[in-house]
Amino acid sequence: MDFLRPASWEEALAAKAEHPTAVPIAGGTDVMVEINFDHRRPEYLLDLNRIGELYEWEVGERDVRLGAAVPYTRIMDHLRAELPGLALASHTVGSPQIRNRGSVGGNLGAASPAGDAHPALLAAGADVEAVSVRGTRLIPVEEFYTGVKRNALEPDELIRAVRIRKADGPQAFSKVGTRNAMVIAVCAFGLALHPGTRTVRTGIGSAAPTPVRARAAEDFLQAALAEGGFWDSGRIITPSVARQFAELAAGACNPIDDVRGSAEYRRHAVAVMARRTLGWTWDAYRGNERSASCA
């Protein structure tokens, strides 16, 4: 095994081009487990720890450009306002020690259907900045997940950053597991209201081979909110609308039975989380509406 330690982003890209089989290592919270247990013996490890820009973020007009290796702890501490869904999801990852090292770039690299960043990214709207010596591609996050633990990166590409839409409304994240810390999601759900465009986006984790959006549920809810004039009135969402939204969200799942839960349980839990996160976010929206109209 060889340990490649590029000192700059350009060097990292050159190394990846020269050694396409090199395994990047950022926080190492996925990679090192595989190496410790001899599940993986890469020819090259490509260390990203020395590349400063991967640990930085920029808050722009529309997006936060989040460096691939920014640890979850920093997202929780510094980006809660801009990325509330991702900050909530980050807080559920592993433990403080894991959150101090683990990163969204690593979550995307691993592309586990259970990765907690994914539902939040899907709900907020995001593009993965994939870079190689050949150039930069922006991959919409919903196209990034191509199969169980597979992603759309080419062998010579690295993730430079994720461009995540800044929140323009309330967001929520919910995760089912056996306890509060150190839990791989049985399933997870992210929801973002986008009052600016009067749209709603969702993300489901651990209930299909890849993280997915519940598109039929989104379409239904958007239409129902528009037709009922809910965005303007800020009225409580009719229970039947919430119920149908939840059923459609469960319908987007294609889960399996495994040690963490049965397929049936996962479908049920996704419906419950969909209904609850809609309640939480809509309450927050109504609260803001009311305070805005009072002002």
Ligand X SMILES: Cc1cc2nc3c(=O)[nH]c(=O)nc-3n(C[C@H](O)[C@H](O)[C@H](O)COP(=O)(O)OP(=O)(O)OC[C@H]3O[C@@H](n4cnc5c(N)ncnc54)[C@H](O)[C@@H]3O)c2cc1C
The residues that touch other proteins, with contacts defined as CB under 8 A, are 1-3, 5, 25, 27-29, 31-33, 35-37, 41, 45, 47, 49, 94-98, 100-101, 180-182
Q: What are phi and psi of 241, to 5 degrees?
A: -65, -45
Q: How many CB atoms neighbour CB 292 within 10 A?
A: 9
Sheet containing strand 199-205, strands side by side: 171-176, 187-194, 199-205
Region near ligand X per CB under 6 A, out of 86-94, 138-146, 232-240, 260-268: 86-94
Q: Which residue reads 């465009």 in tokens?
A: 197
The option from ligand X, other proteins, none interacting with 103 (CB < 5 to 8 A, set by class) reads ligand X
CA 91 to chain centroid, in Å, comes to: 12
Closest to other proteins by CB, 94 or 195: 94
E-strand stretches of the chain: 2-4, 23-25, 44-47, 57-59, 63-67, 126-132, 135-140, 145-147, 150-151, 158-165, 171-176, 187-194, 199-205
Cα–Cα dist 77/269, whole Å? 29
Q: Tell me the torsion sign for CA atoms 56, 130, 152, 39.
A: negative
Among 13, 64, 66, 68, binds ligand X (CB under 6 A): 68
Window 162-221: residues binding ligand X (CB under 6 A) = 182-184
Query: Pattern 87-116, binding to ligand X, x per CB under 6 A?
Result: -----xxx---x--xxx-xxx-xx----xx
The option from ligand X, other proteins, none interacting with 5 (CB < 5 to 8 A, set by class) reads other proteins
User: Which helix or strand (DSSP H or E) is residue 123 part of?
Assistant: helix 117-124
Whats the size of the chain, residue-wise? 295
Closest to ligand X by CB, 185 or 252: 185
Smallest gap from residue 23 Cβ to ligand X (A): 5
Query: Pattern 12-51, binding to ligand X, x per CB under 6 A?
Result: -----------xxxxxxxxx-x--------------x---
Closest to ligand X by CB, 85 or 115: 115
Which residues contribute to the site for ligand X (CB under 6 A)?
A: 23-31, 33, 48, 68, 92-94, 98, 101-103, 105-107, 109-110, 115-116, 158-159, 182-184
